[in-house]
Amino acid sequence: MPSSWNPFFLGVLVFGRNKVSKKMYRLSAFLVLFGAHLSGLWILIANSFMQTPAGYEIVGGRAVLTNFFEAAVNHSTFERYFHTIVASWVAGSLLTTGIASWYLLKEKFVEQARILLKVSIVVFIFAGILQLFTGHLHAVQVAKTQPAKLAAFEGMWETQTNAPLSMFGIPDAEKETTHFAIGIPSMLSIMVYYDSNAKIQGLKDFPKDERPPVFIVFTVYHIMIILGTLFVAMAFLSAYLLFKHKLWDYKWFLRLMLFSIPLPHIAIQTGWMAAEIGRQPWAVYGVLKTADAASVVVPAWQVLFTLIMFVIIYTLIFVIFMKLILKIIRKGPEQIKQYSY
């Protein structure tokens, strides 16, 4: 399905429930789901090529594609795709969980809100726990393909066996050390190679101009991990309450779910920052430095202007989206009562 069709079906999904047949409405829902997952794949293939390039040759200073399949399904495509897609499931399920919780706290549309809460919480439990596994696979992939990035994630300076899994620290690039470092001994070696004696490279193994900016990479990576761990805890708590038929019995639980709506978005942004800033100083890892990728024909002011326009347009779209979605949420399921789904 061409991705240009997606806005059409999204329009049907958001505004057309009372205007199209049940069949058409369900088809639109499926096509939006399918199209979003497919368009995510192409974006992530492009990004994965920049992270772990494959299927190309440098001919006369230019990268020439030699194997499309190898370039598309490179060493990080699979892990990145699943990690990012599951991240969107976490974000989506927490959004609908939060909306259902809000209705229940306000004692509005109680019957429908309970159904919504049950369905969304099952997805959240599944996605929240699954994300720990996709994240683990992703970290193993990074350890093997981008060892300098992993060292920055962990704030680890010395190459070592029995490498610890970092819990806390303040990396200092100038002094080449991590202050107040707390870690679980041997855990990083075990998690990556299933062997406590496995050697993991430290940042000092890499030339200074090929190390990512360690403080920011370490910090954003740890924010994502903390949130991922919190989601796992919330998933287990939700599973317990679901099992005990007590999902809507506690106001504190409903409030927790409501106020958690923004958290996956913070995890997603910090995850991207970890992946992209962690790739520096490379635009295409090991092949093209960011400094060399700067265009010689597009002046800096045009880049800045484009960026400002992007920020303005996306802020505008965000504000309109929020207004519409809040209006739809406030109206509640009453507006669509003529169909029983």
Contact residues toward ligand HEM (CB under 6 A) are 51, 76, 80, 83-84, 87, 90, 131-132, 135-136, 138-139, 142, 149, 224-225, 227-229, 231, 264, 267-268, 271-272, 274-275, 278
Who contacts 289 (Cβ-Cβ below 8 Å, separation ≥6)?
281, 282, 283
Q: Which is nearer to ligand HEM, 226 or 298 (CB)?
A: 226
Nearest to 221 by CA among 142, 117, 313: 142
Who contacts 207 (Cβ-Cβ below 8 Å, separation ≥6)?
none
Nearest to 202 by CA among 222, 181, 223: 181
How many Å apart are CA 326 and CA 315, to the nearest integer? 16
Residue 173 near residue 213, CB atoms below 8 Å: yes
How many Å apart are CA 292 and CA 282, to the nearest integer? 9
Q: Which is nearer to ligand HEM, 28 or 74 (CB)?
A: 74
Using the Cα atoms of residue 192, residue 52, residue 127 and residue 232 in order, give the sign of their dihedral: positive
Q: Shortest gap between Cβ of 131 and ligand HEM (angstroms)?
A: 5
Q: Which is nearer to ligand HEM, 202 or 278 (CB)?
A: 278
Residue 334 near residue 109, CB atoms below 8 Å: yes
Helix (H) or strand (E) holding 282: strand 282-284
Tokens of 328: 């739809």
Residue 253 near residue 235, CB atoms below 8 Å: no
Q: Which is nearer to ligand HEM, 110 or 137 (CB)?
A: 137
Q: Shortest gap between Cβ of 145 and ligand HEM (angstroms)?
A: 8
Q: Shortest gap between Cβ of 272 and ligand HEM (angstroms)?
A: 4
Q: Shortest gap between Cβ of 204 and ligand HEM (angstroms)?
A: 20
Q: Which is nearer to ligand HEM, 31 or 169 (CB)?
A: 169
Q: Shortest gap between Cβ of 120 and ligand HEM (angstroms)?
A: 15
Q: Shortest gap between Cβ of 221 and ligand HEM (angstroms)?
A: 7
Q: Which is nearer to ligand HEM, 71 or 227 (CB)?
A: 227
Q: Shortest gap between Cβ of 142 and ligand HEM (angstroms)?
A: 5
Q: Which is nearer to ligand HEM, 173 or 268 (CB)?
A: 268
Q: Which is nearer to ligand HEM, 268 or 336 (CB)?
A: 268
How many Å apart are CA 291 and CA 299, to the nearest integer? 14
First to last CA, the chain: 26
Q: Shortest gap between Cβ of 264 and ligand HEM (angstroms)?
A: 4
Helix (H) or strand (E) holding 165: strand 165-172
Tokens of 262: 């923004």
Q: Shortest gap between Cβ of 105 and ligand HEM (angstroms)?
A: 24
How many Å apart are CA 312 and CA 112, to the nearest integer? 37
Q: For residue 327, which amino acid is it?
A: K
Q: Which is nearer to ligand HEM, 27 or 210 (CB)?
A: 210
